[in-house]
Structure 1
Amino acid sequence: MDISVVLGFVIAVFLVSVVPGPDMLFIVANAAAGGRRTGVVAAAGMSTGLAFHSVAAALGLGALIQAAPQVLNGVRIAGAAFLLYLAYLTWQASRTQVGTPADAPELPRRTLRRTYLMATLTNLANPKVILFYLAFVPQFISTGAGSWPATLQFLVLGAIFILVGFPVDASAALLAGSLAERLFRSGSRVRRRLERVTAAIFAGLAVRLAVDVH
């Protein structure tokens, strides 16, 4: 692969990563609900989803989706339903009473494994990520003489995407989680409000996912 192509891809991915999108909102919402570790784990789950997308693109599954556009509709509906489920769970959590800071000095945390799986599935169920790999990544694939096999190029570019995007997402998670932990310790009322804002974010993402892709 040409080094100029790789550098161009790195710059493009960084710009895409720093612009807040559904994935970053999901990560920030989890960090707000569960703290820094939860947010970073959510970022790791998103990166895992990107790894799956990279492998799928490398194996040519994009061609199947292009040949059968209805597959995207099924993915879109499943993703929206899943986010609505997360919104429901978070809203229910906001109704759970917690003690005062003296009674419960530690911030209640979600199960990290569950957060990781939720983030991975949310990324996999987002058809915009699939479309991104179909439309964006191939622009950096070389086909001339001496070029690497397209499968290998997809895998390398996918790895670069993760190496660039994960630190950005993790930084957002750490910032949001630190702020949330400070606010949580000020009392259960603040915790409940943050949980409800988080639920609203999940619900909003579900609506966007349902109506944004046709």
Structure 2
Amino acid sequence: MDLATFTLFLPACFALNMAPGPNNLLSVSNATRYGYRTSCLAGVGRLLAFAGMIALASAGLAVVLQTSEWLFYGIKILGAAYLFYLAYQLWKANPQAETQARTAEAGLLALARQEFLVAAGNPKAILIFTAFLPQFVDPAQPVTPQFALLGLLFLVLEWIAIAAYAYMGLHMRRWFARPQGKRMFNRCCAGLLSAAATVLLMARRA
């Protein structure tokens, strides 16, 4: 990758990483409920899902999603259903119980699994990798190393986005210190997750 391509890729990629979405909203919510460190560590689940998607896109397997309508819509429906489930959990969450469970290791694993499933439940993400990353690949050079480098850079920038959104959530936790405030914030996040699920249900393959 030459310097010109690199300088074009970084800002475009980081804008994609920082775009509001279900996973970034989850980082804010987790930081508000469980703390900054827990939210950042839970983001590893998202990185694993995206790494798998990048590998699929690199191998050309994402074409299956473009040609198989039932597979695309099946993944989409499952992903939206999981977002609605998370929204319901947030809506019914007990802020006092969250404070007691903040440092539980099992809770961290569950949060990482949530991040993974939210990312994996969006088939549009694989198609984004299929459409976005190849734009910065020089076909005159070996493709696999370039794709690997671009994928690695994407994951590094995604980690920065996780940290940024978690930091935002950390400050929001100070604003919603009382249980009533936490409950209100949780329900706002539940509404936004439900909206994201609705948008996902309306997504098309094109």
Contact conserved, 2:31 with 2:170, CA < 8 A, in 1?
A: yes
Is 1:120 the counterpart of 2:111? The answer is no
Cα distance in 1 for residues equivalent to 2:122 and 2:101 = 29
Paired residue for 1:143?
139
Give the number of equivalent residue pairs. 202
Cα distance in 2 for residues equivalent to 1:169 and 1:60 = 27
Cα distance in 2 for residues equivalent to 1:131 and 1:59 = 13
Choose which of 144, 147, 153 in structure 2 pairs with 1:160: 153
Which of structures 1 and 2 has the bigger CA Rg? 1
Choose which of 194, 198, 202 in structure 2 pairs with 1:207: 198
SS at match of 1:61: coil
Sequence identity, in percent?
31
Gaps of 5+ in 1: none
Cα distance in 1 for residues equivalent to 2:146 and 2:53 = 14
Q: Deviations over 1:27-83 (max 9, x none)?
A: 223323333233323433222221111111122212222232332111111100111
Shift of 1:184: 4.6
Paired residue for 2:185?
194
Matches within 5 A, 1:9-48: 9-48=9-48
Given the two structures, how large is their TM-score scaled by the length of structure 1?
0.83
Shift of 1:207: 1.2
Gaps of 5+ in 2: none
CA separation of 1:115 and 1:160: change in aligned 2, threshold 3 A = same
Q: Deviations over 1:7-44 (max 9, x none)?
A: 32112112222332333223223323333233323433
Paired residue for 1:4?
4
SS at match of 1:201: helix
Given the two structures, how large is their TM-score scaled by the length of structure 2?
0.86
Cα distance in 1 for residues equivalent to 2:95 and 2:121 = 32
Cα distance in 2 for residues equivalent to 1:108 and 1:197 = 21
Is 1:84 the counterpart of 2:84? The answer is yes
Higher helix share: 2
RMSD of aligned Cα (Å) = 2.3
Cα distance in 1 for residues equivalent to 2:61 and 2:95 = 47
The ranges of structure 1 where at least 4 consecutive aligned residues each deviate by more than 3 angstroms after the TM superposition are none
Cα distance in 2 for residues equivalent to 1:141 and 1:97 = 47
Contact conserved, 1:29 with 1:201, CA < 8 A, in 2?
A: no
Q: Deviations over 1:81-134 (max 9, x none)?
A: 1111111222221xx3738xxxx9x56427111111110111111122112112
Cα distance in 2 for residues equivalent to 1:35 and 1:183 = 14
